[in-house]
Structure 1
């Protein structure tokens, strides 16, 4: 039986599903927050919002990227067909279970939801072991930790009525995964682009400095997950921010100004670095504690994921890796939405208006991606 085209590689179903999940979740969140809509979920509006975006939408995009990348890492055939279909079904079942969880057993909901990360980690691990590729085992370790963070999220909901620590742990792991993968692809893509233009001033290769900053970033994220409002937490966060800016300065990002699809990856990295500084400021009480993580989520992760999705979609479709006006509009809307969200704490009298504008802008970027690339992803 012939494998359907949309099940030929992990990014084909999961990129549009992730984009759609993110957009719909954001658009529902505003009326949910304002009390205009009620969902049949056992989660509070805040917890549903966080879980659907972090473990649902971003989780789908992570799955799409890793299920596709593992074939390149191992030189083995792509994970497709019935195995990929199983991961898609399990992912969708988890999103549905969370959204109608009010009428279901909480542990059954948790089991359905957690099956996604368990299956994803098992598939990636099996491919790496079959190819004796030990270098990327750390990616599987992060997936397992994401599974544990998701499990902790459910435990906190069941016993405390709200998730307080698990969402920060989950976000910290997603940030760390982005720093690992972004630290590979950004200088590599930039090096290839500059080499094609006969520029001999190339980005620095990964060395001990990069490894040290990665470890420092992990320490800072652990400290933030455990004690976000402790003044001592600001120290590793500030150092990690500086370290990541230092890594960025070695990658010649300014030289890519003429190619927005590459430049946006550098901007996303800058948002990750600035996110460490803003979160450090929040730990000291200088900025709003609830708003600061949005520079990481809406800004850094939003830009990094959409840029990778666009590049992968174009690359696997035989299109030139060059941004068109639609791609620029997508990244611009996500940037505008992020800035608007960060302005909310200083405009409390207009919170509904600013929130609505931020949601429409940010979700709009993912909606445009969905409709712009839907045919290339799902149909041959």
Structure 2
């Protein structure tokens, strides 16, 4: 038998699904984050009726906040950091066992949080703290090997998240609801700081690609002084909260951070291309995050509504839309594809925004409550957004890399 015939008879075995998903952080963690973000709120709001079977010392609402911040958004963060940092630093990416070890730690906390099992809270605390600490250590190690200081901002926010998340986990494990609430609130704000940092890095290349698909020029060049304004003011707001400043002072600091996010929205006006889904999603993330922070400040100054809907607008709306936008954009580039995002992603963006508004506006007295169980329609739309993205992108993520050119 000739060599060509032998090659045709014995083709190279295609890699298995586990190997494909373990090839890059986003391939493994973006689907995990989407599934958790879709299913957890449905179980919380629709199936369990805002209760958890084994939650005793810690209120179920805190378990819900814990799972959304460290569960859904946590998986998205692991996938983003383990994908983006190797690209930013031109270093070897984490693959295989390292990624699956992180996934195992993350999943351990999610099993405990699914039932609100106070008796196993220490198990969840140890597992979650392990991956929270591993991320800044990983970035620090890569930066040290590359002798680079460009990732100091990322390192600062990851370290802050590790501190806040670990303190929240300890509070949960000790059954100290006040401690857990304080540090979960801080962790949510830290995620908004990370959002501001990521949007500053992602928006520029995406906008330039939209404006000039040939990549021959860079027509979009935002003012460099604004790049870190939003995350910087979020850091000041978090510090003010933890320092115990008066409600009025912390309110104004939060309003300033919200205004910085809204300032980023103004930079999205780049002509008719602003109507592109990629631009609208990134700008909409800043808009919802900034509006939510403004409303948090207003609530602290005596506005006739609580902070809860305002925080949902910032986190569920702003952070949620930002996460979904990164899923949609990075999911194309890192599988050898390019813009525009598919129609399914555009529909997912709309569903997520609708879910956030249906969750928030009734509590603000702007809309009547939705029919059916409280927040059920919002939970269904939120779940639909992430499941729709997953359905559209799973064929991309579950097939082998097209080559070394699939870089974002």
TM-score w.r.t. length of structure 2: 0.84
Whether 1:289 aligns to 2:307 is yes
Whether 1:318 aligns to 2:336 is yes
CA distance in 2, matches of 1:254, 1:270: 18
Whether 1:335 aligns to 2:349 is no
- Structure 1: unaligned runs, 5 residues or longer: none
The structure having more radius of gyration, on CA atoms, is: 2
CA distance in 1, matches of 2:284, 2:118: 43
Is the 1:253–1:263 Cα contact (8 Å) retained in structure 2?
Answer: no
Q: Over aligned residue pairs, what C-alpha RMSD do you find? A: 2.8
Partner of 1:369: 389
1:197, CA displacement in angstroms?
7.8
Q: Residue 308 of structure 2: SS of its match in structure 1? A: coil
Q: Residue 302 of structure 2: SS of its match in structure 1? A: coil
Whether 1:161 aligns to 2:177 is yes
Is the 1:187–1:204 Cα contact (8 Å) retained in structure 2?
Answer: yes
Q: Residue 356 of structure 2: SS of its match in structure 1? A: helix
1:349, CA displacement in angstroms?
6.5
Is the 2:46–2:373 Cα contact (8 Å) retained in structure 1?
Answer: no
Q: Residue 260 of structure 2: SS of its match in structure 1? A: helix
CA distance in 1, matches of 2:246, 2:358: 24
CA distance in 2, matches of 1:66, 1:349: 38
Greater share of residues in helix: 1
Q: Please list, as runs of the form range in 1=range in 2, the aligned pairs for 1:1-380 lying within 5 A after superposition.
A: 4-31=19-46, 34=49, 38-41=52-55, 43-99=58-114, 102=117, 104-157=119-172, 158-162=174-178, 163-196=180-213, 202-224=219-241, 230-253=247-270, 255-286=272-303, 287-345=305-363, 346=365, 353-380=373-400
Q: Residue 337 of structure 2: SS of its match in structure 1? A: coil
CA distance in 1, matches of 2:120, 2:342: 48
Q: Residue 147 of structure 2: SS of its match in structure 1? A: coil
TM-score w.r.t. length of structure 1: 0.90
1:222, CA displacement in angstroms?
3.3
1:328, CA displacement in angstroms?
1.5
Residues 264 and 55 of structure 1, relative CA distance in 2, 3 Å threshold: same
| Deviations 1:120-145, CA, capped at 9 Å, x for gaps | 33223222221222210331232222
| Deviations 1:67-109, CA, capped at 9 Å, x for gaps | 0011111111221121112111111112123335637454343
Is the 1:279–1:289 Cα contact (8 Å) retained in structure 2?
Answer: yes
Deviates more, 1:111-120 or 1:98-107: 98-107
Is the 1:23–1:367 Cα contact (8 Å) retained in structure 2?
Answer: yes
1:260, CA displacement in angstroms?
0.8
Is the 2:86–2:92 Cα contact (8 Å) retained in structure 1?
Answer: yes
Is the 1:229–1:282 Cα contact (8 Å) retained in structure 2?
Answer: no
Deviates more, 1:262-271 or 1:193-202: 193-202
Deviates more, 1:219-228 or 1:180-189: 219-228
1:356, CA displacement in angstroms?
0.7
Query: Number of paired residues?
Result: 379
1:292, CA displacement in angstroms?
0.5
